[in-house]
Structure 1
Amino acid sequence: MSGGAYIAAKRQCEALNEADVECAFLTIEHDWSLETSSYETTTDSDNPKLKPMMRKYKFADEFAQAYIEPNRSALSNSPFSIWRRNSETNDALLALLNNEGFTHVHFHYAPQLLNTKLLAQLKSDGIATFITCHDMYYFTGGCHYSATCERFQQNCNHCPQVSTDHHSLISHGFWEKHSAFSQTHANFVFPSQWMHDSFRRSAIGMQIPVKQCHTIRNCIDQTTFSPARSVNIQALRERFNIPADDIVVMAGAVDNTERRKGFEQLKTVLLATSKKLRELKSSRKITLITFGGSDQSKRINTQSIRQLALGSLSSIKVRDVMQCADVLLFTSSQDNYPNVVLEAIHCGTLVLATESGGTKELLSDAPHRTINTGSIERDCLELAELLVADDLPKWIRQAKVPSKSFLKNNSPRSVASTLSQVYQEALA
């Protein structure tokens, strides 16, 4: 498990335990041999496992994907899920929460787990429920990111992300979700103010009291991600066979095939940068390091820019790349509070980015830059201008020390303190 929501949830759980707030991290075990759903706890671990009967648990998801995916339009290929009224896992999850004495449950990325009947039973059992919106799924008819669509403000009828929806599953799912949330006292958490504002504009979010909505940042793993000393940077560059004087630009995502991640825009930026370097007859040398969970990262061919395509990386190896990189180039068209940007800033890496969702909030401090000209093409050209700018080395030096406000807002201690407070208020 390596997605952004999983990483953010794990870090928050660790931060809460460090702050003496008892917290267990629930994971789902995918064992197709199980004939019933159950849960498992161990005496030496605070991390219980939910063990669903996979044939029933996955059926609804596989049905939805078989219905939706063949009908996807060109607008987006981001994940799409259909809301559920019930789930095979409900009884096992409720037994775990009640038998083990949990007073709160906090859902992060759980489209296969959260459902109408479960929300009602959690309310009946008096278990305070929190839901973090790592994407837009909880207030749309099914899309996890809306692209340019704003229909979640009304009813999600005629979804532009699918070409046909003959059975109106998307709009029915939207209103089922609307009804489910209106009848519970669930609290909603948003890593970015942008996601919070999007929720409040939605027909689903409008009905939720303001006191049940909280902007709480994702926190950083301060042990793993930190600026490297000069001697370590030199050693890392030697390991990757990067010349000491090169400007090192990094770019990547868990899945580079997802269109909103902006891989096509990244290629446009690099092609424009390569062209400008040749036109200026610049002596600047750039090494591009790409990483991610697809082979898209191997398809960038530019003159004047040397490339290393590293594929999927562990957190430690991502940290190593960040520590030897000068610039993170981030070209997503829609994002919440991306961990890769959070981690890069904490490693002292300059971030040049398109202004996408909550990214602007992360990059509010100089020398980091966000671009929003109103045109994707112009945004790409502006980012290329920054990569060839005379001031780039100065910005790289300035980024080596993250601002005090950034460190405070995203520290595990600060995030744990805020979470603990809203958890207490939910029981008042």
Structure 2
Amino acid sequence: MKAPKIVHISTNDFGGAGSAALRYHEAFLALGYDSEIYIAESKSQSVGDTTKLLPIDNRTLQLKALLRRLLPPKIFSKIRKFLSARSMFSGGKKYLFFTRGESVVEGLSPKLVAEVQQADFLFVHWVAGFANTRDVLEIHKKTGCKVYFITMDMAHLTGGCHYYWSCRGFVSDCSDCPALDFGIRNYAAHQLRAKAINVAAMNASILCCSERIMEEAKASAVPYTEYIRLPIPINEQFYVPAATPRMGPFKILTNANDIDDPRKGFNYLLEVLIHLDRKLSGDAKICILCLKSEFFSGIEFKHVVFEEFGFRRGDEQLSDLYRSVNVFVNTSIEDAGPMMLAEALMCGTPVVSFDVGMASELIREGRNGHLVARLNAKSVAEKVFSLYSSGVGSFDTPLEIHQQVSEIFSIKSWKDKVSSLVAL
């Protein structure tokens, strides 16, 4: 039987969405499929034969990639912080309005269309600045491939924003878009209409990372043929519980490490730590693992201390980080995932999370963590304090926590779900 040719397209292979695209590609390779991925930028020192680098004509992304490659990480980070501060209160910053250039007549990447010669199945990941739906339609017409769009956020469902907060414009026409300046607010409506036409023409399906995203996909004005729940695969070779119980001080890992990203809820984390500090007494200490302790210097804590862990890259380093803590705390207030919830649980680490994204699907209350009403920082502090005071003896064992979540995210479980999607 002929092996299907699987092609992925993604703007990059790092960050949340880029890493997810790479996981899809690597999972297909691990299962013996003929898979290749086309990207515009990579942080890897070297890329394999199945990764195709295609520099793009987008000058903004070209400059960003050049600076990332040439500058020391700290200098690049300072430049990003400076630019981010200038747009901190803009709609584009809040909604991440990255997807631009949608058209029913013109693609963004003729190089990409020309490069893809053969495909039975095309998986479209996070492609902002790299390709638009017209490019995807041209590849579909050229190869006859079945097209799957992958949702890590709302980008494939809206007129341009990746996160929608309380806006429901994507259900109808995305006019009067709150992410754009007043004079160009109908640009999102133009993009949504172009996207809807192209998606309908290629008879595409959409793969959703969570039940919540799938419900929003069904409500979107972009007409997909099928709506399929398919989690991002997680490699069990790395994401497993520690061989022995961890000892030492009580440690917390959090995803709120970017004070300039309103979605990640850094200020809510700060409030959690203030409440937690007040609950502790005597010599009691709780350690917060963070990228930069200076972010917390504006508040004087008596019992909360901070330990910088440095940037981690790759599954091996990330999984070690999850195993080094007692609990993972998620204070995101607008998120499709986050994937860190699933990764922590795969490592047997309990979680305490606001009710966002896939949290309600993953958390078994009192067994592998606690689900807290969105924005209720005081309740998060109470749950963490309870774990600190009483331990996790009432929870399932780390191995049981891992097994529950691996039924959803392991490559083996993913294979059972995806095999029918790529059958010739």
1:376-391 alignment, distance < 5 Å: 376=375, 379-389=376-386, 390-391=389-390
CA contact (8 A) 1:251 1:328 kept: yes
CA contact (8 A) 1:298 1:309 kept: no
Superposition CA RMSD, Å: 3.1
Aligned counterparts of 2:60 and 2:164: Cα–Cα separation in 1: 29
Return the match for 2:33 from 21, 41, 44. 21
- Residue 303 of structure 1: aligned partner: 302
Residue-by-residue CA offset, 1:143-177 (whole Å, 9 max, x unaligned): 11011212211222222234423462122212222
Of 171-180 and 194-203, the range deviating more from structure 2: 171-180
Aligned counterparts of 1:423 and 1:222: Cα–Cα separation in 2: 22
1:22-171 alignment, distance < 5 Å: 22-29=34-41, 45-55=49-59, 72-73=90-91, 76=94, 78-85=96-103, 86-90=106-110, 92-98=111-117, 101-125=118-142, 126-166=144-184, 168-171=186-189
Aligned counterparts of 1:222 and 1:296: Cα–Cα separation in 2: 33
Structure 1 residues 146, 167: CA separation in 2 closer, same or farther (over 3 Å shift)? Answer: closer
CA contact (8 A) 2:342 2:405 kept: no
- Residue 209 of structure 2: aligned partner: 191
Structure 1 residues 403, 346: CA separation in 2 closer, same or farther (over 3 Å shift)? Answer: closer
Aligned counterparts of 1:362 and 1:291: Cα–Cα separation in 2: 26
Q: Aligned AA for 2:170?
A: F
What TM-score, normalized by structure 1, do the two folds share? 0.79
Aligned counterparts of 1:300 and 1:396: Cα–Cα separation in 2: 33
- Residue 39 of structure 1: aligned partner: none
Aligned counterparts of 1:57 and 1:286: Cα–Cα separation in 2: 41
Aligned counterparts of 2:260 and 2:130: Cα–Cα separation in 1: 25
CA contact (8 A) 2:174 2:186 kept: no
Aligned counterparts of 1:262 and 1:71: Cα–Cα separation in 2: 15
SS, match of residue 14 in structure 1: helix
Structure 1 residues 160, 167: CA separation in 2 closer, same or farther (over 3 Å shift)? Answer: closer
Structure 1 residues 312, 256: CA separation in 2 closer, same or farther (over 3 Å shift)? Answer: farther
- Residue 217 of structure 1: aligned partner: 231
Q: Aligned AA for 2:55?
A: K
Residue-by-residue CA offset, 1:81-127 (whole Å, 9 max, x unaligned): 3242234422x2223222xx322221111122332432332332212
1:242-281 alignment, distance < 5 Å: 244=248, 246-252=249-255, 255-278=258-281
CA contact (8 A) 2:272 2:380 kept: yes
Aligned counterparts of 1:25 and 1:297: Cα–Cα separation in 2: 40
Aligned counterparts of 1:50 and 1:133: Cα–Cα separation in 2: 22
Residue-by-residue CA offset, 1:337-374 (whole Å, 9 max, x unaligned): 322111111111110000102222122462311111x6
Aligned counterparts of 2:417 and 2:256: Cα–Cα separation in 1: 28
Aligned counterparts of 1:392 and 1:127: Cα–Cα separation in 2: 52
Structure 1 residues 56, 399: CA separation in 2 closer, same or farther (over 3 Å shift)? Answer: closer
Deviation of 1:55 after TM superposition, in Å, equals 4.2
- Residue 228 of structure 1: aligned partner: 242
Structure 1 residues 117, 387: CA separation in 2 closer, same or farther (over 3 Å shift)? Answer: closer
Aligned counterparts of 2:156 and 2:244: Cα–Cα separation in 1: 44
CA contact (8 A) 1:83 1:174 kept: no
Structure 1 residues 296, 2: CA separation in 2 closer, same or farther (over 3 Å shift)? Answer: farther
CA contact (8 A) 1:363 1:369 kept: yes
CA contact (8 A) 1:24 1:47 kept: yes
Structure 1 residues 253, 128: CA separation in 2 closer, same or farther (over 3 Å shift)? Answer: farther
Of 309-318 and 108-117, the range deviating more from structure 2: 309-318
Deviation of 1:79 after TM superposition, in Å, equals 4.7
Of 128-137 and 395-404, the range deviating more from structure 2: 395-404
Q: Aligned AA for 2:188?
A: I
Structure 1 residues 301, 411: CA separation in 2 closer, same or farther (over 3 Å shift)? Answer: farther
Aligned counterparts of 2:341 and 2:322: Cα–Cα separation in 1: 10
Q: Aligned AA for 1:406?
A: V
Residue-by-residue CA offset, 1:395-426 (whole Å, 9 max, x unaligned): 567445325332121111221332231122xx
- Residue 346 of structure 1: aligned partner: 346
- Residue 3 of structure 1: aligned partner: 15
Return the match for 2:220 from 175, 181, 202. 202
Query: What percentage of residue pairs aligned between the two structures are identical?
Result: 20
Of 360-369 and 212-221, the range deviating more from structure 2: 360-369
Of 312-321 and 261-270, the range deviating more from structure 2: 312-321
Q: Aligned AA for 1:362?
A: L
CA contact (8 A) 1:195 1:336 kept: yes
Structure 1 residues 186, 255: CA separation in 2 closer, same or farther (over 3 Å shift)? Answer: farther
**Is there any run of 5+ residues in structure 2 with no aligned partner, and where?**
1-12, 64-82
- Residue 195 of structure 2: aligned partner: 177
Count how many residue pairs are aligned between Structure 1 and Structure 2. 381
- Residue 331 of structure 1: aligned partner: 331
SS, match of residue 360 in structure 2: helix
**Is there any run of 5+ residues in structure 1 with no aligned partner, and where?**
31-41, 60-64, 235-243
